[in-house]
Amino acid sequence: MHTNVRNSIEKINLEHLLLENLNLKDHTSIHCGGNAQYAAYPTDFEELRMLLTFAQEQNLEITILGGGTNTLISDQGIAGLTIITTHLARRHVQGEMYCVRGGCPLDKAISQAIDDGLGGLELLGGIPGTVGGAVYGNSGAYDVQISDLLYYVDYMTFDGKLHRMQTHLDDFSYRRSPFTGRKDIIIYEAGFRLRPTTQTSEVRTRKDEVKQIRKQKGLYDYPSLGSIFKNPPNNKAAALIESCDLKSASVGGASINPSHANIIVNTEGKATSSDVKALIDLIKQTVQDKTQITLEEEIKYIGRW
């Protein structure tokens, strides 16, 4: 660690929070990628603010990582400070409002809301990753998007200030939120206006059913990032990829999931992120050449690409 960085850490007492050179392979569901120069798991507002101040003082780039289930991390790693949100996971209920921190796993948040007698999010059961990641990319399934029940988002800008955004459906679209693409905020808390219910066991069963269907479709069989590409208007990315005879395409350790052509898998755990990226580029180019349709990534790239 550079001396000036160490001095600053000691000054603001961050020593216990900062990890140096953290391997991120196990922080992404496809299990590839390099190291974070510095990483930290803040557990509350104050720790988060201290980390942001430290990074600003040291001129360190800041990267936010949730569950890493929609993110390809460069093999070259991530320069600067990576803030991993998974320890920011508290929740509370105010009437019909379910308020949950951004690092809580989405599936767990949905279960806890049901335990609290609140339904509405159950069709999103089984989507891996955190609440913050789901809000960032407006995750969805079965024609439900997370934005459908979202009421507010508390986000912190990297100057340490907390802001509340009252959300409106018009601000969201397919896999897009007002936060998508922003690299200057962290989603700290989301508030959902849910439906009070006394039928909690039925709601829980519905959630378990959709999760089971996902399992049967083979979505969790191999390390992956879920769907790589967004569905183009009036088309399905998986069908386009199949129509271009790409189902058996592979690069290095990265290949296409035999049961879902829009998913790249790291079956034996030997793929690098560069393999995955090269396969993505191959698919995009082939689909473009054969169908004149441009596929757009749903996944995000982080680190030094």
Ligand X SMILES: Cc1cc2nc3c(=O)[nH]c(=O)nc-3n(C[C@H](O)[C@H](O)[C@H](O)COP(=O)(O)OP(=O)(O)OC[C@H]3O[C@@H](n4cnc5c(N)ncnc54)[C@H](O)[C@@H]3O)c2cc1C
Stretch that binds ligand X, among 3-11, 111-119, 139-147, 286-294 (CB under 6 A): 139-147
Q: How many residues of this chain bind ligand X (CB under 6 A)? A: 32
State the residue for tokens 């998974």: 86
- Which structure tokens are listed for 147? 């934005």
Write b or e for each residue in 1-37: b if 16 or more Cβ atoms lie within 10 A of its Cβ, otherwise e. Answer: eeeebeeebeeeebeebbeeebebbebbbbbbbbbbb
Between CA 217 and CA 246 the distance in angstroms is: 19
Q: What is the DSSP string of 207-225?
A: HHHHHHHHHHTTTTSS-EE
Q: Which stretch binds ligand X (CB under 6 A): 14-22, 49-57, 61-69, 160-168?
A: 61-69
CB of 186 to ligand X, least distance (A): 4
Q: What is the closest distance, in whole angstroms, from the C-beta atom of residue 76 to ligand X in the complex?
A: 17
**In 3-state terms, what secondary structure has residue 163?**
strand
When the beta carbons of 15 and 268 are compared against ligand X, the nearer one is 268
Closest CA to 121 of 109, 137, 136, 133: 109
Binding status of residue 68 toward ligand X by CB under 6 A: yes
Q: Does 257 bind ligand X (CB under 6 A)?
A: no
User: Which of 65, 153, 238, 280 is close enough to bind ligand X by CB under 6 A?
Assistant: 65
In terms of CB distance, is 33 or 129 closer to ligand X? 129
137 in contact with ligand X (CB under 6 A): yes
User: Rounded to whole angstroms, how far apart are CA atoms 271 and 253?
Assistant: 4
Query: Is residue 128 part of the contact set for ligand X (CB under 6 A)?
Result: yes
Nearer to ligand X, 6 or 217 (CB): 217
Q: Which amino acid is at 114?
A: I
Of 262 and 274, CB closest to ligand X: 262
User: Which listed range, 33-41, 42-50, 220-228, 232-240, lies at the site for ligand X (CB under 6 A)?
Assistant: 220-228
Compute the distance between CA of residue 255 and CA of residue 281 in angstroms, rounded to an integer.
Answer: 13
Q: Take residue 48 and report the two structure tokens written for it.
A: 């988060």
Give the binding range for ligand X (CB under 6 A) out of 35-43, 131-139, 268-276, 285-293. Answer: 131-139
Which member of 100, 123, 127, 237 binds ligand X (CB under 6 A)? 127
Contacts of 254 (CB under 8 A, 6+ apart): 264, 265, 266, 271, 275, 276, 278, 279
Q: Rule CB under 6 A: is residue 34 a binding residue for ligand X? A: no
Residue from 39, 51, 134, 295 that binds ligand X (CB under 6 A)?
Answer: 134
Given 62, 64, 238, 246, the residue binding ligand X (CB under 6 A): 64
Catalytic sites, residue numbers = 175, 227, 298
Report the length, in residues, of the chain. Answer: 305
Which parts of this chain interact with ligand X (CB under 6 A)? 29, 64-71, 85, 102, 127-130, 132-134, 136-137, 139-141, 185-187, 219-220, 224-226, 300
